[in-house]
Structure 1
Amino acid sequence: MFVLILKYVASIEKIDELIPAHRQFLDKYYLRNKFICSGAQVPRTGGIILCNANDKEEVKQIIAEDPFYIFKVAKYDILEFIPSKYAPDFESFI
């Protein structure tokens, strides 16, 4: 399991221009059961994606398709972790 932390490195206006394309990217990986949840940070300096990829290489391949990455308006930190405790409804993601 991976936590993807996005940090915006461009103006919010540029981020907003890319939001529709970024949401299409998110939808693609929600349909493939790779993304579990996502959203903006508060304050709005970036975002968070909880990702259920097989390994870090797969995560990098996924990220490479994000318009935020392609147009260099956000940087990604990738944190890998192994869930050891979780709510029963979350078990299908493990």
Structure 2
Amino acid sequence: MSCVIPNLLDHPGSILVTDPKGENFAVTARWRRDIGQQVHAFDPFRVASGDATYNPLELIDPESPEAVDEARMLADMIVLPEGQGGE
């Protein structure tokens, strides 16, 4: 048995956990809510039915003269050039 779940159930403070399979969230989220904590899962692949979201485009002011350059820079950070990684 992993030590992660017992620690999530025991620790009373805020926690940020990387949980690729969603197992830790599934086991501990309800308990943490029951003790009055806010629980959110950033879950872009819908493994744990997360409710937290992040839209990097919200950081770009569409009225800014630099908006197009900022969008290009963001795209360059997100998308790997062809032939680099993920082959």
- When the two structures are superposed, what TM-score results if normalisation uses the length of structure 2? 0.26
Q: Which has the higher strand share?
A: 1
- Rg larger in structure: 2
Choose between structure 1 and 2 for higher RCO, CA contacts under 8 A separated by at least 6 residues.
Answer: 1
